[in-house]
Structure 1
């Protein structure tokens, strides 16, 4: 199939999407969470793929193909909704305790990284990944220390 986006460019976009999401997935994997490397990479790869498909249809529309009509923002909306469903599935409520919110958020963010890579905005995809890792790793450690300190004070 002929497309406005060269094959090597598509491969680059898909590789960047999967590669950056690897870092989010690795963080979740190292913390023993059920959604890890493969889940995050697949969500990001899928997001980038749907964006590339949407752009291909948009290019066909611009060339006058009347059967190809698309609003690119609707593709993004569909991706966001689908990933939100996946992320919500990772959240578990056990008694009064809720688990998986950070994993759900990171899955959703992996989708955003995929969308960014899919539209060829690599700087945005990298910035989102770096900021997310700072939040997940740096603030996660800070949060654990504060909670441990708070719990130790309660027990004293």
Structure 2
């Protein structure tokens, strides 16, 4: 039983409280990105972005810890943490590509896919201990997603979304005063 406990509570280069704080940070930054997608009722929303960010953070912590593992320190073993970054990038890109759809002559899902990719990068950043990079990237993504979206609508580059007005993104027509009095 002692061996099992020793294996479960194996010593780490980065203390466990710091590792768990990194995971919580990845959850937070993934949520910041996912909230906007959730608000717009996109298929990959809050939970998806959180899971991508958390998983990326776990991969980053494992990469850091694997470099310091005694069982992997022999001359015949070569550990390259950059491969973890490449693997996470490829894996998230695969998921993000699944969100992109070509329908009725329009490409849809690119922003959601990019958000998923960014959530992965934020998770990797926090997992490697680069909190400020993840925080800045997450805040910058909110500026891009919220502020620029409003600007695109104000400049009439994009129509408002259906939830912004009436059907098909058009502003709701003013109600007839007689209809209101009959309902009231």
Q: Does 1:108 align with 2:117?
A: yes
The partner residue of 1:40 within 45, 49, 52 is 49
What's the offset of the Cα at 1:95? 2.3
What's the offset of the Cα at 1:70? 1.3
Distance 2:88 2:158 in 1: 40
Task: Compute the TM-score of the two structures, normalised by the length of structure 1.
Answer: 0.89
Q: Where in structure 2 are the equivalents of 1:1-156 lying within 5 Å?
A: 1-60=10-69, 64-66=73-75, 69-147=78-156
Q: How many residues align?
A: 150
What's the offset of the Cα at 1:86? 0.6
SS in 1 for 2:68: helix
Larger helix proportion, structure 1 or 2?
1
Q: Any stretches of 5+ residues in structure 2 without a counterpart?
A: 1-9, 160-184
Distance 1:105 1:29 in 2: 14
2:55/2:123 contact within 8 Å kept: yes
Distance 1:114 1:84 in 2: 14
Distance 1:39 1:63 in 2: 33
Distance 1:70 1:124 in 2: 24
What's the offset of the Cα at 1:13? 0.4
Tell me how large the CA RMSD over aligned residues is. 2.0
Q: Which has the higher contact order (CA 8 A, sep 6+)?
A: 1
User: Using a 3 Å threshold, how does the CA distance of structure 1 residues 134 and 149 change in structure 2: closer, same or farther?
Assistant: closer
SS in 2 for 1:98: strand
1:17/1:41 contact within 8 Å kept: yes
Cα deviation code 1:99-123 (max 9, x no counterpart): 1100000000000100110011111
Structure with higher Rg: it is: 2
Give the corresponding residue for 1:153. Answer: none
Q: Any stretches of 5+ residues in structure 1 without a counterpart?
A: 151-156
